[in-house]
Structure 1
């Protein structure tokens, strides 16, 4: 899924802190986190009631509010004027948009959630912040019908669609406090459909369910496991199968360990915590262990350490486990179940210790001490961000473990128990306070002044009533009339408050069930977490092919045509395309670490040109063309091409400054040398090993080396054709080529035309630079957080045809 925060500040988009250690992996979210205000704290309001959103205020009031993902409008309200929130002045804004989002996250996992943008600025105030209503979808440009003096009624969305990054409005406020109230929630049915397959709510860790694995990887190491100074089998130079290992230390971990592993710009980062019986953690790595260029070198590492199947080995190095099925690497050595932690006895991998799959990871086993441990050992559980494990702070807050009592009020002592805070911060005077409003002040001080608690609250996933549903109004707010509370003895004031509240609410327009609890997330934590997913839904991929581009790129591609190219297969005289390439692309992106917008866009910029905008997974040409390109080239061929195809051979760089006589004399020798050095030594090898896959793999040696990587034979007929007929092979061969040539090292450098050209040099294509650059720029706009499309007169955004 592609998801962004509701604000896209330029400072966050372009920020790179070269001094940070470790470097920020998501600077935009770091910037937007600073917009969160100290009032309206998630999930506790100032008066101890549920507050299941956050209040965000950008650095500049004229920053636009954007849709966080592609979605369907559920309900909305557009106001012409601000309204009186009770102070006698127009100081509040009732405009809002509620969106429903449905997307995929991998392994057949559909995720449906809602995002709410409340307190959007009224139309009359646009001029004060230099807002341009033309930036809005048409339905948000006119006020809802209703009396100007009061809040106009909300409107049903009627199936309207918005795209990620569409402008929904500008920030208004409530009762003089300028902010956007922002929520993300799920219905109970949607929540169970997705999270039942995760670790959320479990305090005992279980093996990961299915192959869904994305984001950061986690390894749970039981206590008293041996750490080695060097892996077994290293030589006197500390080399194992040609891979160098730095000597570390030996020892054991006194407590269970949680190990976090992730990659960023080619380097591998590892954090380690020791974990106590109550689940609390102590960080053993003040700074993550950094192994520079580990990811860029991972192909070479896999081919040397896992010669029997480097492809499986590559997954072991990236995930700590093999996700592809069936796995090639196996073992014949049994493990002893007596030593396995009871919490992981159900792990099917615990029956055998795969010696071929040994994966020696560098990690801390106590503060200041590091060693190597084989994380492929079945006693070590392997999870990822896809599992929402409790030890990374995720807590399911529902009846039974909630700090909120039956009246919907948060109790400070109950909150401390939930967050396992044993530190006494209350003064004797605080403890002596009895009245409810006095307790509110103590709770507010506790939450606002305690950064550790604020961080833990971000991991709360709460089942609570929605505040925009009027069903529970009297139950939730009647305590405001009690002694010491705001409306004690003021029935008229309370009635005015309830009238204002109900005019603000809109649930009856949503079509969602009334009176039911919802599941709420800290919205910025939700967005930050799912930005690691990397999986693209079909609808998101359809948008990756521009509607209009250069004639030699894609020219005109309608929405339906784009959808067909990602989902359907076809075979013509000179073209073949496999079915469901969109699924295969996602598998390949995950396996080979094309996890962010920059890497994906660089890959797609090359692949779209190689495949003619996803029209053919094989190089076009007849048998004579492939003979001349990849097998044998005669003097007669050279003379004919110089006389009749001069512009073509010049464009492809074959001339190299040679005149006709020189070209005829030397070009045949060039082809012969190139063919024999690349293994094309048999008649028909030119056509047999023509370019295939999303990035055209060529030559017998190219197919042979890919076969060695996968532990399969792609040189014997008809197996070469799998690279064009089978979507998984067509995509995987391109991913293999990408990491084998270390192209990520070039892709990570940036977004310029020169960066695209540097990638092309490693891909080896001889033409189409302008088209590759245009494809890259467009794909990067779709995938990244950039709010506007690059200026290009020949480029048009893909839109769904109505």
Structure 2
């Protein structure tokens, strides 16, 4: 078996075995490596999936399992599987300021170590490219993505901004009541859309002041449609004709709602991210990130990379350098505003930042 771009199995080699290994400080007494078929074949290292027992690798563009790496120890099995997953995900890094899955797990204690290790490895892979190379910058980055991604949990099958708002939800008042047109370009597909040069005038968009003003078809417990359909319809409407989105019928508002660890929003952002990916050698509409973000952003690497791209695009590093640990909330709000203009939960983001910095600076 060779490391590198592909794992290659040569016909004639044994079909597996069991042995003892140590990964960092984790000792595994019985690690089984098993090939499912006689070769030759190639395995894409990025096609691995995690199970309760270990890691499965499939052949390129297929779900056929060709290689299994299983922990047969019953004691502390989950911890040992996590260690194997981290090792096979490439814990080693040449990043100027590397972080570990254990550090992220200490910061986001409600998140599985395997998810933390996976995210840490991806961050380390790209951190130098985006100059996330000091404890202060990294802590600020984690403060923002930690809140936006629900402590790294809103990825994979759970990706995509939630859309269900019930009658009693306080978020109506925080987000949708007295909503104004903000994000240019505005589309003339909507007859009520203002001109782009009016974006600073705070022109009301929906005319909702109270829950009674909201059509029931947009309310999850409104009774007209299912909760999932109501949420979808709501976002098709409220995000219409802004930020490159089409009108309500296009449903761009739902399609291009927040995805990724920095909640990329608006069609124009997805187009810009897709163009950047192409400039770095990725194919157009990589992993359906543009045509079907709900599907595309199931990919964890794409989730993380989109957040790092947005962070760099918003020139967050220079702002982060000016905001030390222990700063006032008003000072910290400067970095939040670059990522969320409404300063949503900036105090919570600051808590994550302070905790991150205390762990990373050691």
What's the TM-score once normalised by structure 2's chain length? 0.50
Aligned partners of 2:358 and 2:101: how far apart in 1? 17
On the 8 A contact 2:256/2:265 being kept in 1, the answer is yes
Question: What is the match of residue 345 of structure 2?
Answer: 768
Residues 32-111 of structure 1: matches in 2 within 5 Å?
none
What CA deviation, in whole Å up to 9, does each residue of 1:108-147 have, x standing for no partner? xxxxxxxxxxxxxxxxxxxxxxxxxxxxxxxxxxxxxxxx
Aligned partners of 2:245 and 2:179: how far apart in 1? 23
Residues 694-733 of structure 1: matches in 2 within 5 Å?
694-711=261-278, 712-713=284-285, 714=288, 716-718=290-292, 721-723=295-297, 725-733=298-306
On the 8 A contact 2:178/2:207 being kept in 1, the answer is no
Question: What is the match of residue 683 of structure 1?
Answer: 250
Q: Which residue of the other structure, out of 157, 164, 171, is the alignment partner of 1:648?
A: 171
What CA deviation, in whole Å up to 9, does each residue of 1:705-728 have, x standing for no partner? 1001111325653465322x2222
Q: CA deviation at 1:784?
A: 1.5
Question: What is the match of residue 749 of structure 1?
Answer: 322
Q: 1:690 to 1:538 in 2, by over 3 A?
A: same
Does 2:114 align with 1:540? no
Aligned partners of 2:338 and 2:321: how far apart in 1? 14
Aligned partners of 2:238 and 2:293: how far apart in 1? 26
Does 2:121 align with 1:583? yes
Q: CA deviation at 1:701?
A: 1.4
Q: 1:603 to 1:755 in 2, by over 3 A?
A: farther
Q: Across the two proteins, how many residue pairs are aligned to each other?
A: 213
What secondary structure, in the 3-state scheme, does the structure 2 residue paired with 1:590 have? coil
Residues 273-312 of structure 1: matches in 2 within 5 Å?
none
Question: What is the match of residue 734 of structure 1?
Answer: 307
* Structure 1 gaps, min length 5: 1-70, 73-210, 215-532, 548-556, 568-579, 626-640, 786-802
Does 2:162 align with 1:621? yes
Residues 449-528 of structure 1: matches in 2 within 5 Å?
none
On the 8 A contact 1:700/1:715 being kept in 2, the answer is no
Question: What is the match of residue 485 of structure 1?
Answer: none
Q: CA deviation at 1:654?
A: 4.2
Aligned partners of 1:653 and 1:686: how far apart in 2? 14
What's the TM-score once normalised by structure 1's chain length? 0.24
What CA deviation, in whole Å up to 9, does each residue of 1:173-228 have, x standing for no partner? xxxxxxxxxxxxxxxxxxxxxxxxxxxxxxxxxxxxxx9755xxxxxxxxxxxxxx
Q: CA deviation at 1:613?
A: 1.1
Question: What is the match of residue 353 of structure 1?
Answer: none
What CA deviation, in whole Å up to 9, does each residue of 1:35-57 have, x standing for no partner? xxxxxxxxxxxxxxxxxxxxxxx
Aligned partners of 1:694 and 1:661: how far apart in 2? 31
Aligned partners of 1:606 and 1:709: how far apart in 2? 22
Residues 192-211 of structure 1: matches in 2 within 5 Å?
none
Q: 1:666 to 1:762 in 2, by over 3 A?
A: farther
Question: What is the match of residue 360 of structure 2?
Answer: 783
What secondary structure, in the 3-state scheme, does the structure 2 residue paired with 1:730 have? helix
Q: CA deviation at 1:732?
A: 0.9
On the 8 A contact 1:747/1:755 being kept in 2, the answer is no
Aligned partners of 1:674 and 1:717: how far apart in 2? 17
Higher strand share: 1
Residues 372-391 of structure 1: matches in 2 within 5 Å?
none
Q: CA deviation at 1:620?
A: 4.1
On the 8 A contact 1:592/1:739 being kept in 2, the answer is yes
Aligned partners of 1:563 and 1:589: how far apart in 2? 20
On the 8 A contact 1:706/1:733 being kept in 2, the answer is yes
What CA deviation, in whole Å up to 9, does each residue of 1:636-660 have, x standing for no partner? xxxxx8xx347323333744799x9
Residues 185-224 of structure 1: matches in 2 within 5 Å?
214=95
Higher helix share: 2
What CA deviation, in whole Å up to 9, does each residue of 1:427-460 have, x standing for no partner? xxxxxxxxxxxxxxxxxxxxxxxxxxxxxxxxxx
Aligned partners of 1:722 and 1:715: how far apart in 2? 4
Q: Which residue of the other structure, out of 230, 242, 259, is the alignment partner of 1:692?
A: 259
Q: 1:694 to 1:562 in 2, by over 3 A?
A: same
Cα root mean square deviation, aligned: 3.7
Aligned partners of 1:653 and 1:746: how far apart in 2? 29
Does 2:130 align with 1:592? yes
Q: CA deviation at 1:737?
A: 0.4
Q: 1:701 to 1:783 in 2, by over 3 A?
A: same
On the 8 A contact 1:536/1:586 being kept in 2, the answer is yes
What CA deviation, in whole Å up to 9, does each residue of 1:80-107 have, x standing for no partner? xxxxxxxxxxxxxxxxxxxxxxxxxxxx
